[in-house]
Amino acid sequence: MKIISVVGARPNFMKIAPIIKAVKKKKNLTNILVHTGQHYDKKMSKLFFDELDIPKPDINMEVGSDTHAQQTAKIMMGFEKILIDHKPDLVLVVGDVNSTMACAITAAKLNIPVGHIEAGLRSFDRTMPEEINRLVTDSISDFLFTTSIDADQNLKKEGVPAKKIFLVGNVMIDTLLANTRQAKNSRIMNRLGLKERDFALVTLHRPSNVDEKNDLKNIIEIFLQLQKHTKVVFPIHPRTHRKMEEFGLLKKTKDFPRLIFTEPLGYLDFLNLMMHCRMVFTDSGGIQEETSVLRIPCLTLRENTERPITVTYGTNVLVGLDKKRILREAERILRGQGKKGREIPLWDGQAARRIADILSELKLK
C-alpha cells in the first residue's frame, strides 16, 4: 500500500513523527511525506523536523501563510497535482489545521481513501476554524483513528458506522513519552534562570484570545498579577507578538522582569519547561493533553475544549477569560491544591504502532 501522509503546521509534526517510524517497520507499507508549508517559519517548522527526527519531506509545497480560504485553495490546487502524479492508495491526515481538511477534500474528490488521525474531537463551537476542519474531514474520511472514547461517541452520534472507527490512543503522547529523556538534557532552565516548580508557563495564540485588545490586555494583566507570586515564562507566538505590539502591550511589560518573554521554542526546550513548571496557562489543545500525561496542572483560557477527557481524567481546568476565576485557580495550584489527574486509557506511547498494524491489514478496493 502506498500512503501519502500530510503535515502542514507545527502540531502535525509531533503527531506524524511516531507514525512514520511505525509505518517504516511494515514491509507492505510505503509512505510519501508531504509538507504543505502552512507553517514556514524555521522555529515553527524546520526545528521540529530536526528535533523529532522526522525525515525530510519528500514533497514541500511551501504554500505559506494567507487567509483561510486562500490558503486552503492553494493547498488543494497543489495537492491535487501530487495525487495525480503519485497515485497513492491512501491519504493520511492528522489533526485539525487547514492542511488537514484541504488534503482530505482533494483526496476524496479523486476517490482516494482518507484516514484521519485524531478524529472525532469536538468543541461544539463553530466559531473555531479548527472545528469546521474537524467536522468536514471526519465526514469524508474512510478510516477514523480516535484518541479517546468520547471521540468515538461523537462520531457515532454523527452517523459514522462503527466499522470505520478505530480507538487507538494518542500519537501526540507517543512523541511526548519518546522524548522526555532527551528533553531533560535541555539547558533552557539555566538559560532563563529558572528553578524547578518555581515558574508558570504560558502559551497563547488563538485569535479569540489575542485578536481583541481588551481580551489580550486582560490576559496580560493576569500574568502581571501572577508574577508577584511566581515567575511567568511566555514563549511568544508570532501572531501574539504582533498583536501585543499593535496594542501597545509589550511596552507595559518592560518593567516586570519576572514576566519572561522568549521566542517560540523548539519541542525539546518547551517540553523541558513543561515538565518542570508549577502550572501551564494555554489555549492549545495539544498542551491540554501533554500536561495531563505529565500531571502538571493546566488552566485553559477557553470556554470549551475538544478534549474533554483532559478535564475528566487529566489535570485540565477550563477557566475562560474570567480574571478572578483564573487567579483563584492559580492560587490553589500555588498552595499545592491543583488537579492531580489520573491515567488516560491507551495514552501509553503505542498509538502509532496500533495505527500501523491496522493499516497493514487493510483491504482497499
Q: Active-site residue among 205, 237, 241, 276?
A: 205
Residue 214: which of 348, 323, 311 has the closest Cα? Answer: 323
Burial (0-12, 13-18, 19+ Cβ within 10 Å), 46:
middle
Identify the helix (H) or strand (E) that includes residue 195.
Answer: none
Q: What is the dihedral of CA 75, 81, 82, 84, to 10 degrees?
A: 140
* Residue 35 a catalytic site member: no
Q: Rounded CA gap, 39 and 158, in Å?
A: 31
Q: Rounded CA gap, 264 and 349, in Å?
A: 26
Write the CA distances from 39 to 9, 64, 136, 191, 209, integer angstroms: 5, 6, 21, 27, 20
- The sign of the CA dihedral 274, 279, 281, 283 is positive
Q: How far is CA 296 from the centre of its chain?
A: 17
Write the CA distances from 242 to 68, 236, 248, integer angstroms: 19, 10, 10
The DSSP call for residue 124 is: -
Written as nine digits, the cell of 47 is 526545528
**Catalytic positions:** 205
